[in-house]
Structure 1
Amino acid sequence: MAKLQKEAWRPYFDAMSKELAGKTAEIAVDSLKLGHQIEAEWLPLYGLVYDPKSDIFEVVMEGLDHMIAHPQEVYVDVDASGLNSVEVIDEDDVRQIISLRSPLLLPQSLH
């Protein structure tokens, strides 16, 4: 996982939006108070956005707009296939892990 500097959050995720098309995402929330909880399970992902004016990191999914107020740290896991996950740590030290996956490509039937 690589840590992104705060000034890079908005341009990084703006540029990454094109690569996220067609991916699904799962959001897991980890904290000492709540333990480990799944917030959303493999929904179509529309985008990851950081708005510096309101200091909100937003995960936009089908049927869910997950907002993380006052993020303190953002880590990304990237390999040759692209972005695999994003971890956002908020001001209360709650870790929100957004795992990404591409849809399975089914072989075309032979006719």
Structure 2
Amino acid sequence: MALQKLDKAEWHSFLDYLSKGLVGKRTEIEVASLALGKQIEAEWLPLLGIVYDPKDDVIDVALEGVDHIVNRPRELYVDLAVGNLASLEIVDADDNRQIITLRDPLMLPPPPEARPSAQQGQERSR
């Protein structure tokens, strides 16, 4: 699966835009780190929203009954293959990875101003 890296300046508007289409989507959150290995924090709960607060440098993923906070996020990758959003991957300052997977990919093309720029050329595979 190829992931595209979003520029940090795009995070707030992109996540705000996505949140509007993601409300109620069944979502899984997996946290992966060298110290802890892979752990499922939330399994297929309805998503309430996902936001980036640039002032506090925090991404908040709100699910029904779970509020997952990512402090000092360093990188944000999105899987937008063929106009479908299947997952997001957030890498924090400690190199922990939070993988947010949608049970059913969301057919929601990004707005032109928040689309990952092709000039970045930073794609990676999981």
Q: TM-score range by the shorter chain?
A: 0.7 to 0.9
Larger-Rg structure? 1
Map of 1:53-64 to 2, 5 A cutoff? 53-64=55-66
Aligned equivalents of 2:20 and 2:78: distance in 1?
16
User: Which is richer in helix?
Assistant: 2
Aligned residue number for residue 84 of structure 1: 86
How far off is 1:24 after superposition? Answer: 1.0
Asked whether the equivalents of residues 77 and 83 of structure 1 are also in contact (C-alpha less than 8 Å), the reply is yes
- Report Cα offsets for 1:59-85 as digits up to 9, x if no partner: 000001100000000000113463110
Does structure 2 conserve the Cα–Cα contact (< 8 Å) formed by 1:22 and 1:102? no
CA deviation map 1:7-45 (0-9, x unaligned): 000000111112112311101011110001101100000
Alignment of 1:1-111 (within 5 A): 1-80=3-82, 82-102=84-104
**Unaligned residue ranges in structure 1 (runs of 5+):** 104-111
Task: Using the aligned pairs only, state the percent identity.
Answer: 54
Secondary structure in 2 matching 1:102: strand
Q: Deviations over 1:39-63 (max 9, x none)?
A: 1100000111100011000100000
Instruction: Tell me, in whole angstroms, the C-alpha distance in 2 between the residues paired with 1:78 and 1:19.
Output: 14
Provide the TM-score with structure 2 as the length reference: 0.77
RMSD of aligned alpha carbons: 1.4
State the one-letter code of the partner of 2:99.
Answer: I
